[in-house]
Amino acid sequence: MPFYSEKVMEHFANPRNVGEIKDADGVGEVGNPVCGDMMTFYIKVKNNIVSDVKFKTFGCGAAIAVSSMVSEMAMGKTVEEVMKITNADVAKELGGLPPNKMHCSNLGADALHKAVKDYRQKQGVK
Partner 1 sequence: MKTVYLDNQSNTKLDEKVFEVMKPYFTQYYGNPQSIYSFGAVSKDAIEEARRGAADLINAAPNEIIFTATASEANNLAVKGMAYGLKDKGRHIIISAIEHFSVLNAAKRLEKDGFEISYIGVDKKGNVKEEELKKALRADTILVSIQYANPEIGAIQDIKKLVEIVKKGGKAAFHTDAVCACGVLPVDAAALGVDALTISSPLMYGPKGAAALYLKKGTKIVPQIDGGVQEFSKRAGSENVPAIAGFGQACKTAKQELEQNAKQMAVLRDKLISELPKRIEHIYLNGAPQNENRLPNNVNFSIEFVEGEALFLLLDAKGIMAASGSACANKNLKMSHVLDATGVDTAVGQGSILFTLSKYNTDEEIDYVLEEFPKIVQRLREMSPLYSYFVNTGKRKEAGPGTDYEHEHDHCDIDEDA
Q: Which residues contact 119 (CB under 8 A, 6 or more apart)?
A: 25, 26, 43, 45, 79
The distance of closest approach from Cβ of residue 33 to partner 1 in the complex, given in angstroms and rounded to an integer, is 4
The distance of closest approach from Cβ of residue 25 to partner 1 in the complex, given in angstroms and rounded to an integer, is 18
CA atoms within 13 A on the CB side of 125: 10
Q: Which of 21, 104, 111, 112 is catalytic?
A: 104
Q: 104 an active-site residue?
A: yes
H helix or E strand, kind and range, residue 1: none
Rounded CA separation 44/122 (Å): 12
Q: Which residues bind partner 1 (CB under 8 A)?
A: 9, 12-13, 15, 18, 20, 29-40, 55-64, 100-101, 103, 106-107, 110
Of 49 and 61, CB closest to partner 1: 61
Q: 60 an active-site residue?
A: no
Of 5 and 106, CB closest to partner 1: 106
Of 26 and 31, CB closest to partner 1: 31
Nearest alpha-carbon partner for 43 in 121, 112, 95: 112
Which residues belong to the active site? 35, 104
